């Protein structure tokens, strides 16, 4: 992905993927509420003809790259890294003469998990049938190609998709909420005021890893599904008094963590538990591999004494989080 390619994508599509819809539009332009701040009257204008934006309330504008730099508060390189991870082809594409296009995919079925290949893929990610209630098997067609994938639903009815060779999304991008009090996906925008605890994840594989490892956490899991939805996630977190962060140990995850802690000083960061790994799922896979090796009576790796003390400390932290315990 480079700037030229990213800027050629319809900004309307980019905004849609971030959960922003126009308040009014015609063939030439669309008006949105300010994506960067709260406002009651739309001041963000999208010129569809030249695929450029202008924010009247601040007197600034530009192309897709300029927009995402401001939206993510980051550099051009990190914007392009973010764009590379998206699957914009699954949204409406910008068309000549402003003709509305039909999506190039269709959903053929939404089922409980049945496919043995998908079950094997999950097993490779360290996940068992314990997490099956929180996912679906999605069968869909792209062009003429029939595909299937694990589907993780969001609050807008869209799905994050994964299988052994594919990573993408269908329909509208949004955050996801899993209510572990009722062991069910909360698909309503009405927040249960009795729920005060929340664990926050960047991707759903980490959330499922948490479910796999925890024993008695009572609260919600908030899955961002994209760092571009950080602002929306922060808005949702206002409903909670006990915020627990399990974000990735990369630049994007560190920035998200900093922004959330800046907004909620009481938020607790648990990324140190898996500090030697990119994310919680990688930590789970590593732990399972070590358990298998130990059962076979082999030593997979020799930790220095300082590392052993750190691991014991991390285990204590896990146990203190509402019964979220590390299995031995």
Matching residue, tokens 């996906």: 185
Between 196 and 112, the more confident residue is 112
**pLDDT value at 302 more than 60:** no
Average of per-residue pLDDT across 20-45? 84
Task: Note the pLDDT of residue 140.
Answer: 84
3-state class (DSSP) for residue 320:
helix
Residues 220, 266 contacting (CB under 8 angstroms): no
Task: Note the pLDDT of residue 103.
Answer: 52
Task: Note the pLDDT of residue 231.
Answer: 85
Q: 185-320 maps to which CATH number?
A: 3.40.1360.10
Question: pLDDT band at 100, cuts 50/70/90?
Answer: very low
Question: CA–CA distance from 161 to each of 82, 185, 262 (Å)?
Answer: 17, 16, 31
Question: CA–CA distance from 146 to each of 35, 86, 108 (Å)?
Answer: 36, 20, 9
Mean pLDDT check: name the lowest of 77-81, 146-150, 157-161, 182-186: 182-186
Question: CA–CA distance from 68 to each of 176, 192, 209, 290 (Å)?
Answer: 22, 33, 30, 41
**pLDDT value at 211 more than 50:** yes
Spatial separation of the C-alpha atoms in residues 131 and 122, rounded to whole Å = 10
Average of per-residue pLDDT across 287-291? 82
Average of per-residue pLDDT across 45-71? 90
**pLDDT value at 312 more than 80:** no
Average of per-residue pLDDT across 128-147? 87
Rg (CA), the chain: 21
Question: pLDDT band at 108, cuts 50/70/90?
Answer: confident
Mean pLDDT check: name the lowest of 39-53, 95-109, 120-134: 95-109
Average of per-residue pLDDT across 194-205? 85
Mean pLDDT check: name the lowest of 42-46, 87-91, 223-227, 280-284: 87-91
Residues 253, 272 contacting (CB under 8 angstroms): no
**pLDDT value at 209 more than 70:** yes
Query: What would be the CATH architecture of the domain defined by 3-98?
Result: Alpha-Beta Complex (3.90)
193: DSSP letter: T
Mean pLDDT check: name the lowest of 45-49, 261-265, 299-303: 299-303
Residues 44, 35 contacting (CB under 8 angstroms): yes
Task: Note the pLDDT of residue 132.
Answer: 93
- Type and span of the H or E element at 6: helix 3-8
Average of per-residue pLDDT across 164-170? 78
Name the token pair of 147: 């595909």
* Domain coordinates in residue numbering, the chain: 3-98, 105-170, 185-320
229-233: list long-range contacts, CB under 8 Å, 24+ apart.
229/18, 229/19, 229/173, 229/174, 229/175, 230/72, 230/256, 230/259, 230/260, 232/19, 232/174, 232/175, 233/175, 233/200, 233/260
Structure pTM? 0.61
**pLDDT value at 186 more than 50:** no
Average model confidence (pLDDT) across the chain: 79
- Type and span of the H or E element at 236: helix 230-237
**pLDDT value at 8 more than 80:** yes
Task: Note the pLDDT of residue 188.
Answer: 40
Per-residue burial over 20-57, b if 16 or more Cβ lie within 10 Å, else e, is bebeeeeeeebbbbbbbeeeeebbbbbebeebbbebee
For the ranges 89-98, 170-179, 276-285, the one whose mean pLDDT is highest: 276-285
């Amino acid at each position: 992905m480079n700037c030229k390619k990213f800027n050629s994508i319809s900004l309307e599509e980019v905004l849609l993927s971030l959960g922003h819809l126009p308040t009014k539009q015609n063939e030439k332009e669309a008006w949105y509420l300010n994506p960067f701040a709260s406002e009651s009257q739309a001041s963000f204008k999208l010129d569809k003809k030249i695929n450029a934006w202008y924010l009247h309330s601040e007197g600034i504008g530009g192309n897709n790259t300029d927009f995402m730099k401001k939206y993510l508060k980051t550099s051009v390189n990190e914007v392009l890294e973010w764009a590379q991870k998206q699957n914009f082809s699954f949204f409406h594409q910008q068309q000549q003469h402003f003709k509305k296009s039909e999506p190039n995919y269709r959903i053929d079925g939404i089922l409980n998990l049945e496919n043995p290949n998908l079950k094997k893929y999950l097993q490779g990610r360290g996940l068992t049938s314990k997490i099956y209630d929180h996912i679906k098997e999605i069968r869909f067609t792209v062009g003429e190609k029939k595909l299937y994938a694990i589907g993780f639903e969001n609050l807008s009815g869209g799905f994050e998709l994964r299988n052994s060779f594919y990573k993408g999304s269908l329909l509208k991008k949004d955050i996801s909420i899993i209510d572990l009090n009722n062991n069910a996906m909360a698909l309503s925008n009405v927040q249960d005021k009795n729920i005060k605890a929340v664990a926050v994840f960047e991707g759903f594989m980490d959330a499922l890893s948490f479910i796999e490892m925890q024993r008695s956490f009572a609260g919600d899991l908030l899955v961002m599904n994209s760092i571009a939805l950080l602002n929306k996630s922060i808005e949702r977190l206002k409903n909670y008094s006990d915020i627990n962060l399990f974000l990735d140990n990369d630049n994007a995850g560190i920035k998200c963590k900093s922004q959330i802690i800046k907004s909620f000083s009481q938020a607790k960061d648990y990324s140190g538990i898996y500090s030697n790994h990119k994310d919680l799922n990688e930590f789970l896979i590593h732990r399972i591999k070590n358990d298998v090796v130990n059962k076979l009576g082999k030593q997979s790796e020799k930790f220095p004494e300082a590392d052993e003390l750190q691991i014991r400390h991390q285990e204590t932290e896990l146990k203190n989080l509402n019964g979220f315990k590390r299995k031995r």
